[in-house]
A and B are shown apart, each in its own frame.
Chain A
Amino acid sequence: GAVVSQHPSWVICKSGTSVKIECRSLDFQATTMFWYRQFPKQSLMLMATSNEGSKATYEQGVEKDKFLINHASLTLSTLTVTSAHPEDSSFYICSATSGRAYGYTFGSGTRLTVV
């Protein structure tokens, strides 16, 4: 079955630094990848949608200059949290699809803690 690898699983960083999270589709080509944020005891909130080779589409209220998304290949998308603040601490999850009407595979998530 389709597998999506997300790395790192958890990261602790200092305020003001940047953190990069990788999302890789291991056995399929992901034409579209999605980035979500999930706060404790809440559901997944879509942050942005990225298509390979084009700029990401951000959801309302998500700062594109703070959350940089790059989808340079059909198997890799990265999310960089720039100038991180404690309020950016959250669980970030990516998902990928090969473009079917249904069929999304999720990564295992990245727990970001900004101290």
Chain B
Amino acid sequence: TQLLEQSPQFLSIQEGENLTVYCNSSSVFSSLQWYRQEPGEGPVLLVTVVTGGEVKKLKRLTFQFGDARKDSSLHITAAQPGDTGLYLCAGGSQGNLIFGKGTKLSVKP
């Protein structure tokens, strides 16, 4: 069974701080996606990474896919209250998406 472990589960920080969320697995994934979900809504795709070692930047967010395609990280620079939400990583394999348990981020002004 393929599993994605996300850490930390909860993160509460002050506005302006930096943070990193990790997504690890013992399995290789053909692609990995990061989503952000707000309460009462569906997940919204932030980025997809497919190549080992790939780094993608989306404004203050930096995503990295591990060389072996088993892990990924999401780094947020100068976090803002608007970044608050549940961040989910999901690995693509054989047409299905497997989700991590998520990291609940709270950014306090």
Chain A residues with a Cβ under 8 A of chain B: 4, 6, 32, 34, 41-46, 49, 91, 93, 95, 97, 101-109, 111
Contact = CB atoms under 8 A, between A and B. Distances in A.
Interface of B: 30-31, 33, 35, 40-45, 48, 50, 88, 90, 92, 95-102, 104
Given A102-B31, A104-B45, A109 B40 contact: yes
A41 B104 contact: yes
A contact patch SS: strand
A4 B45 CA distance: 13
30 contacts: A4-B42, A6-B42, A32-B95, A34-B96, A41-B104, A42-B101, A43-B88, A43-B101, A43-B102, A44-B88, A44-B99, A45-B99, A46-B97, A95-B42, A95-B97, A101-B31, A101-B92, A102-B30, A102-B92, A103-B48, A104-B33, A104-B45, A104-B90, A104-B97, A105-B45, A106-B44, A106-B45, A108-B42, A109-B41, A111-B40
Contacts, number: 57
Q: Interface centre among B43, B88, B90, B104, by most A CB within 10 Å?
A: B43
A111 B42 CA distance: 11
Contacts of B88: 43-44
Contacts of A105: 45
B43 to A, nearest CB: 5
A106 B36 CA distance: 11
Nearest to B93: A101
B43 A106 contact: yes
B18 to A, nearest CB: 24
B42 A109 contact: yes
Contacts of B92: 101-102
A44 B43 contact: yes
A102 B30 CA distance: 9
Contacts of A95: 42, 97
Nearest to A103: B48
B42 to A, nearest CB: 4
